[in-house]
Amino acid sequence: MNAAKSETLAAFARWRISAILRTDNAGVAREAMEAAVAGGIRIAEFTMNTPGALSLIAEFSSRPELVVGAGTVLTAEQVREARQAGARFIVSPVCDPLVIAEGNSLGAVTVPGTFTPTEMMSAHRAGADMVKLFPMPGIGPQYVKFLLGPMPFLKIFPTAGVTVDNFLDFLAAGAWGVGMTTSLFEPEDLTAGKLHRIRRRAEEITRRFKEWGGAAGS
């Protein structure tokens, strides 16, 4: 593993919490992520179907205190575009060996979408650095614990279904990290431009994480 990937994985191991922004409102996208960062979040993911995603990745990745990646990556071409813009990690809703291979060849951390144990093992064998748990099953943290019993080598990263109230349960169950989507960027706040509410939620998340023993935002 190259030094860049090792550094990115170390950042995930330290901060554990990713802010995942998906919006069709280009005007509020930058300000919304700024609010999350102001609240203490240090891992930022812009989905590729957000208007201006590549420009936002380039802008935020220039800040050394942040780890910035691309989400909803579906093709090898999108991997190349995101990496060129400065993305340090590549997240997909599916497990595509071509996307994993392209990300690895370019030195990006790869996080394919998986749901079943078989999909997770397939992703791991294809060279994935982490596996995104998507969508979230009803048993949530218990599912993560069940998966890690026979496969403790997996770095599981739950996203959909992770909230301010349950994210510590996922970490306690052994998740490598968690992704906050609409639980952090509530659609009505984005529509109304209530960015102070996003910052307050980010502050609450990082406060709880620090009290739990983490180092988010430090």
The yes-or-no answer on residue 45 being catalytic is yes
Which residues fall within 8 angstroms of residue 73, CB to CB, at 6 or more apart? Answer: 48, 79, 82, 90, 91, 92, 99, 103
CA distances from 208 to 11, 37, 101, 193 (A): 18, 16, 36, 25
Out of 7, 34, 119, 132, the active site residue is 132
Give the whole-angstrom CA distance, residue 10 versus residue 59: 22
Give the whole-angstrom CA distance, residue 123 versus residue 204: 33
The yes-or-no answer on residue 132 being catalytic is yes
Out of 5, 45, 102, 155, the active site residue is 45
Strands 89-91 vs 43-47: parallel, antiparallel or unpaired: unpaired
Q: What residues are annotated to the active site?
A: 45, 132
